[in-house]
Amino acid sequence: MSKRHIKSISQNTTFELYDAQTMPMEDNGISHFALVDSLMNEAGRHKKSMLHFWPTKNLVFLGMQDTKLPYFSDALAIFEENKYDYIVRNSGGLGVVSDQGILNISLIIPNEDMDDISIDDGYEIMYSLVQDMFDVPVDAVEIPDSYCPGDFDLSINGQKISGISQRRRSGALAIMLYLSIEGNQNQRSHMMKDFYEEGLKGESSRWHFPDVNPDVMVNLDEALDCPVTVEKMQKNLIDSLESFGGHIKKGEYTPDILSDYEREEENMVKRNQRMLGDNFKICRG
């Protein structure tokens, strides 16, 4: 695959680095998505490029489609049994799992005319970065019986390690990736399988939900057959971005970002209250 897209957005470009470990906001699940939107606003205002790392506590990012399950409220109990909180995200269509063994990444770039970077271009940019991180082939093809399947599921030897989504706003694009690195991927997959089974209870639905097969998903440490950490993968991705001509500097939480954050967090809270109803709760600690 051509790597011209990643080269075009990274060559001689400074990326401001933001890390959830040092953010001044309370980590309540919603905070990560509110911050992404705030950073997108900043990127659009000032034509900045940004890199955002955000591993989380045990948390499931549900898609809006998941809320259409016939027995959605019953299905949410599966997460509580597994000691995972949940929110409804504002990007992507179906649920994905996050915890401290998974690295979430947002690459945020200016996209002034909205059509400068097509949807496919956006996926290819992140795919190129991930390919460059490893010495083994990484494929981009849908793994239909994984959770949150999509055309740009990233896999090694046929087993999914990662998924990509995008969020677009006026003037900016966020390409978002989760990377399963370590921890219990089998538990994550079985949890999502149980969630959909409990949510459907054998009934048909006009919405399509995956029949999750836990065997088709794997952590990087297993796929590569060597110890891998979230911190190591953060370094690898920075090295990859720099290999395409990018530069990294620490990002600053400007007054505009902090002001935007308050508004974006409120928007995310209202979204989750609307989607989850009585099941809504702020994730704390």
Residue 116 within any structural domain of the chain: yes
Domain membership flag for residue 285: no
Tens-digit pLDDT string for the chain (285 aa): 457 788 889 999 999 999 998 999 988 889 999 999 999 999 999 999 999 999 999 999 999 999 999 999 999 999 999 999 999 998 768 999 999 999 999 999 998 866 678 999 999 999 999 999 999 999 999 999 999 999 999 999 999 999 999 999 989 999 999 999 999 999 999 999 999 999 999 999 999 999 999 999 999 999 999 999 999 999 999 999 999 999 999 999 999 999 999 999 999 999 999 999 999 987 754
- The pLDDT of residue 2 is 54
In a domain, 69, yes or no: yes
| Domain-located, residue 109 | yes
> How confident is the model at residue 282, as a pLDDT?
74
- pLDDT of 114 reads 60
What local confidence, expressed as pLDDT, does residue 1 receive?
45
198 token code pair: 């409990």
Domain count, the chain: 1
Length reported for the chain: 285
- DSSP codes of every residue in the chain: ---HHHHHHHTT-EEEEEEGGG-SS---SHHHHHHHHHHHHHHHHHT-EEEEE---SSEEEE-GGGGGSTTHHHHHHHHHHTT-EEEE-SSSSS-EEE-TTEEEEEEEEEETTSSSS-HHHHHHHHHHHHHHH-SS--EE---TTSSS--TT-EEETTEEEEEEEEEEETEEEEEEEEEE-SS-HHHHHHHHHHHHHHHHTT---SS------GGGB--HHHHTTS---HHHHHHHHHHHHHHTT-EEEE----HHHHHHHHHHHHHHHHHHHHHHGGG------
Active-site residue 226, yes or no? no
Asked, for residue 74, whether it belongs to a domain, the answer is: yes
Residue-number span of the structural domain to which 10 is assigned? 4-279
Domain-located, residue 192? yes
What is the per-residue pLDDT for 17? 98
Among the options 75, 148, 181, 275, which is catalytic?
148
Q: Residue 195: give its domain's CATH number.
A: 3.30.930.10
Residue 284 lies in a domain: no
